[in-house]
Amino acid sequence: MTGDAATPATHQDQRLRQARRVVIGSYAALIVLLCLGGWLLKSQHQVGWGPILVRLLPLVLLLPSLLTRRPRGHLWLAFVSLLYLMQGVMIASLPDKLWLGGLEIAAAAVLCVASALYARWRGRQLRS
């Protein structure tokens, strides 16, 4: 009988670990894409490092919550990732930037869903 009771907890821990891996992977992918897009902007239009730093600032500010695995921080990360989703749509509408915008849309959408799921499941785990 104890094996049956442990199964849902084990399944919940497994889902939580998987969501965490997806959050970390999509977070890293989004940072790489933002740096790449900023570098392309810098090389084409002779702008400074300001646009790159402004794009990265919201993600960097949420890094402590991500590292400490706080559910509320992951929920805020889900909300902030929607800004990057909108930015990806705008970039995809530019000539010759469909690939960059599409990748940013994908990374931001995956980050939004995975961080929201992680926040929900981690919150349940902490309450029980």
pLDDT tens-place string over residues 62-112: 999 999 999 999 999 999 999 999 999 999 998 888 999 999 999 999 999
pLDDT at 4 over 60: no
Helix (H, G, I), strand (E, B) or coil at 94: coil
The pLDDT confidence band at residue 1, using thresholds 50, 70 and 90, is very low
Cα separation, 17 vs 127, in Å, equals 17
Q: Are 88 and 77 in contact (CB under 8 A)?
A: no
